[in-house]
Chains A and B, each alone.
Chain A
């Protein structure tokens, strides 16, 4: 009998952390991200969420796409691609960036790590090889390499995260500033730690070669045993990032290269990411279109909403009046925030309507019966979750 797996090429790949994560995935709640088998949750999403907020959790970011961009033209190439000024980024620093089409429509957001004068790492949610290949045209001395599969990365987020890393032996870790990078010798190789994350809280991301992944896991979990360390999946991440006010592809925005309908994508201004666009830079992709967008004002603006009551406004239409006569926008993500004790949402609202009242038409279910309610919304400037420890150096001891 032929035992060859006919579907070998189609099966989800396993991250280097998989042996440990699969043992802990009590619910077998797997989905996928960029071809990797990936946990939605391990035991209970809300429990994992509370670990992020009260102790700490690990989230496997191996499937996140990582590109090494190196060579004498690396800085110039990235600087033309992204809207922010990369030349200001110091070595061992990270910055949050977005990049756009020629028409100023956002392709993706991500982070750039400056590892040397002429070496960077770009991370992003979706494969971007095609765009990067287009972006190097005109830059002779730059090499782009997909390093996703040769990097194992784990996000460690939550108030005890710094202490856990100290317990692990990374003594100077407390001096690492937000968006800083530190390197440590680690079991014959090296461990890169960046003070970055997607939860709005104190947290780090740990980067090693795949051979060291399980060692990292074991050392980390041993150090975190008394500090509530627990793996968390996509669901808890989505809760934490929404409280922090971070955007998610396929929720707040469509990647511009993947939309079919004209203007089903977004500009950074619509996504309230205008602060990422640096017009002091003479040239970057989409500059002309973005300048026009800035001057005219975006059609929609992404806002944070605090909604009265406790009924989650998932998928709600927004109106300027309680009678729901004038539609002015739509909710992109919504949840009850356990930490803020608030009914929160991110929403797209027609920019001229931002100063008026906002009402959400909410449909909710009780025991298979649907009910409708119209709730008043308040637009908030600040994230729902932004503890001081996320910014403090050293972070307060736990």
Chain B
């Protein structure tokens, strides 16, 4: 019989995590993926003959619990490789090298401050760590179990000691600029360190809100937020997740776009019955779990008409405009960056915090940054299979590029941005332009088209205090279940949020299996 316990819409990494847990628990699970590759924004595609890349290009905090529960190592995940340093790129070829426990290329004072700040942040991250893998309490629900989640957090923070607790509370919503200025003098160091709090968000160094929180979220695993590329690239992770899910019995159908989530109504109300595919095929299931972003899930796939009015409007006003573009370059040879050996680390091209702020200023008003800032990797250094022998792939996250550009994303607008990016890269790696065989620039607008993610937003909806914790994506949908029975969320739009973490998929599965 063609009936499933659970249909998962979208084979993003969270969808795969959720599928694996549910299949392991004995459910009959079907994962439907619109594109030809599993993984969502982590899917690896050939962007030019012989050259591969994925939009998400490194891992900093994938859940160790998920790795263990799903035995991802036995499915081929190998994270034992070297973690990358983060390099703050200096225009003069003098770079700042940021490691887990030390920084070099700065004054001894800054180096000492780094060690201290890093230790403090790690203590905070540890206090918060268990919170990310928990379901947030439902507002208005005062059941002991739900309140316990809060009590535990309170206790963990209290156990930090009075000084740390007060400092945590002071720092929690601090702008990155203030935190950096308090601790460091070196401009390049400050810019590179603040990047981790800002990447993927609608925030710049002067914005108060969630950057410190975002930084702590990325630090919740033992890696402390240091970035790495698994063996076999990001595909190594995605393949392991596909393996875990399918070996447990989940079915995965690629090239299968879901047109809508089907609903029936009777005297007991509405309930979700399954999905209808783009071709008209209807598949029934006891529940549908959406790994798509909340706006798309509720307003496009389910339909606002099937929701309550205020809820639908809360979903509609979610802040979903992505500001990160993705640059993929197919290079004829290994790129050479000034003042550096091999480019096998994570390079931040943003010489000052102001350079980040100014790039954001342009985007705020719908323009493209005059001088873009970016995070650059050469993933083929770690995984040579990504490019033909001797050739390389450069992968860059470019901020701040608006999804809705003033005047629209014309070919000319894209080509202008690409030129600016190459000019910028050329300053750090002279001669790189001549190595470019092919360039692919994916604006947030493009990502929305190719990955069916509203606004092309990495995190599906802004990771900011108004959309975090029990407010993520909004109250009445923050516990993974939707107001319409039979519908669940398991994507980055749910607590704790985006990035290659796996926590929303894990948490959703636990709620479903309750």
List residues of chain B with CB within 8 A of the CB of A287: 269
List residues of chain B with CB within 8 A of the CB of A286: 308
B267 close to A (CB within 8 Å): yes
Does A102 contact B310, Cβ atoms closer than 8 Å? yes
| CB contact between A134 and one of B267, B303, B310 (< 8 Å): that residue | B310
List residues of chain B with CB within 8 A of the CB of A77: 305
Provide the A99-119 mask, 1 if CB < 8 A to any CB of B, else 0: 001100000000000000000
List residues of chain B with CB within 8 A of the CB of A280: 267
We find that the number of chain A residues with CB closer than 8 angstroms to chain B is 22
Does B312 contact A282, Cβ atoms closer than 8 Å? no
Interface-side segment among A3-11, A135-143, A206-214 = A135-143
Does A283 contact B306, Cβ atoms closer than 8 Å? yes
For B264, give the chain A residue with the smallest CB separation.
A282
| CB contact between A102 and one of B265, B269, B304, B308 (< 8 Å): that residue | B308
List residues of chain A with CB within 8 A of the CB of B308: 102, 285-286, 288
B270 → A minimal CB distance (Å)? 5
Does A283 contact B269, Cβ atoms closer than 8 Å? yes
Known: A134-B313, A135-B309, A137-B316. A282 touches B270 (CB 8 A): yes
Provide the A182-225 mask, 1 if CB < 8 A to any CB of B, else 0: 00000000000000000000000000000000000000000000
Does B310 contact A76, Cβ atoms closer than 8 Å? no
List residues of chain A with CB within 8 A of the CB of B264: 282
Q: How many A-B residue pairs have CB under 8 A?
A: 53
| CB contact between A137 and one of B267, B269, B313 (< 8 Å): that residue | B313
Measured as residues with beta carbon below 8 angstroms from the partner, the interface class of chain B is 20 to 34
B506 → A minimal CB distance (Å)? 28
For A284, give the chain B residue with the smallest CB separation.
B308
Does B303 contact A138, Cβ atoms closer than 8 Å? yes
Does A137 contact B312, Cβ atoms closer than 8 Å? yes
For A283, give the chain B residue with the smallest CB separation.
B270
A293 → B minimal CB distance (Å)? 15
- Kindly state the separation between the CA atoms of A77 and B270 in the bound complex, as whole angstroms: 16
B92 close to A (CB within 8 Å): no
For A282, give the chain B residue with the smallest CB separation.
B265
Known: A76-B305, A81-B309. A138 touches B269 (CB 8 A): no
A309 → B minimal CB distance (Å)? 45
Residue among A80, A279, A287 with max Cβ neighbours from chain B (10 Å) = A80
| CB contact between B266 and one of A131, A135, A282, A288 (< 8 Å): that residue | A282
List residues of chain A with CB within 8 A of the CB of B305: 73, 76-77, 80, 138-139
- Kindly state the separation between the CA atoms of A77 and B309 in the bound complex, as whole angstroms: 10
A67-84 interface with B by 8 A CB criterion:
73, 76-77, 80-81
List residues of chain A with CB within 8 A of the CB of B269: 282-283, 287-288, 291
For A135, give the chain B residue with the smallest CB separation.
B309
Residue among B269, B270, B483 with max Cβ neighbours from chain A (10 Å) = B269
* Smallest CB-CB A-B distances: 10 pairs: A138-B304, A282-B265, A138-B305, A102-B308, A102-B310, A137-B304, A134-B313, A283-B270, A285-B309, A137-B312
Name B's A-contacting residues (CB within 8 A): 264-267, 269-270, 299, 303-313, 316, 483
> What are some 22 contacts across the A-B interface (CB < 8 A)?
A73-B305, A80-B305, A80-B309, A81-B309, A102-B311, A131-B309, A134-B309, A134-B312, A135-B309, A137-B312, A138-B299, A138-B306, A139-B305, A279-B267, A280-B267, A282-B264, A282-B265, A282-B270, A283-B269, A285-B309, A286-B308, A288-B269
